[in-house]
């Protein structure tokens, strides 16, 4: 299966010789917003924090928010509209852009992570809890981490990125 081969290549790739796409950070947003463009309302730190929380740092979601800003949506309106659209077509686009839609080998694990693990867990705990059901759990978790699906939530450990989790709840393959 092509998806398993791609996941295997992603998981086994030498980290020094692979370029992984990253989610935008707060510092990255600072350089993305300026005081002289449609994103001016997001130039202040508090607005950038709200922007990061609403988009998860996903470039495709940020680009959609830019389109809303160009249409004249206020920050509050744009963020509310974006939240609604993640439940709709933008959520579908995000899942497709991350590769999750086609990564059938990850679907069962994604359903379990989103449904059962509502708090961040250390990687070792995830391995221990999931190993009985997934003999290749290290492979699967590594793929999810490299796809920015499983992210460092805080000092507590890893969790499914919240915006992606919301999109998965609404549009994840059943």
Can you give the pTM of this predicted structure? 0.84
- b/e 40-51 (16+ beta carbons within 10 angstroms → b): ebbeeeebbeeb
Beta strands in 31-171 (DSSP E): 150-154, 157-160
C-beta neighbour count of 19 within 10 angstroms: 6
Report the C-alpha gap between 51 and 23 in whole angstroms.
13
Could you tell me the maximum CA-CA distance found in the chain, to the nearest angstrom? Answer: 54
List, in sequence order, every beta strand (DSSP E) within the chain: 150-154, 157-160
Digit-coded pLDDT (tens) for 122-164 = 999 999 999 999 999 999 999 999 899 999 987 889 999 999 9
The pLDDT tens digits along the chain (174 residues) read 444 555 566 556 555 655 556 788 888 877 766 666 777 777 788 888 888 999 999 999 998 998 898 898 988 899 999 999 999 999 999 999 998 998 898 999 999 999 999 889 999 999 999 999 999 999 999 999 989 999 998 788 999 999 999 999 999 887
Domains and their CATH numbers in the chain = 26-95 (no CATH), 104-171 (1.10.10)
């Amino acid at each position: 299966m092509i998806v398993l081969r791609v996941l295997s290549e992603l998981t086994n790739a030498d980290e020094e010789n692979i370029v992984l796409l990253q989610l935008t950070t707060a510092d990255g947003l600072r350089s993305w917003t300026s005081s002289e463009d449609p994103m001016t309302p997001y130039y202040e730190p508090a607005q950038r924090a709200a922007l990061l929380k609403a988009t998860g740092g996903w470039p495709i979601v940020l680009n959609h928010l830019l389109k809303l800003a160009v249409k004249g949506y206020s920050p509050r309106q744009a963020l509310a509209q974006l939240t609604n659209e993640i439940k709709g077509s933008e959520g579908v686009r995000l899942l497709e852009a991350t590769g999750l839609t086609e990564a059938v080998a990850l679907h069962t694990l994604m359903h379990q992570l989103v449904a059962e693990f509502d708090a961040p867990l250390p990687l070792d705990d995830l391995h221990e809890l999931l190993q009985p059901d997934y003999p290749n759990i290290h492979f699967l978790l590594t793929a999810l981490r490299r796809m920015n699906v499983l992210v460092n939530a805080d000092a507590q450990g890893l969790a499914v990125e919240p915006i992606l989790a919301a999109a998965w709840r609404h549009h994840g393959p059943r």
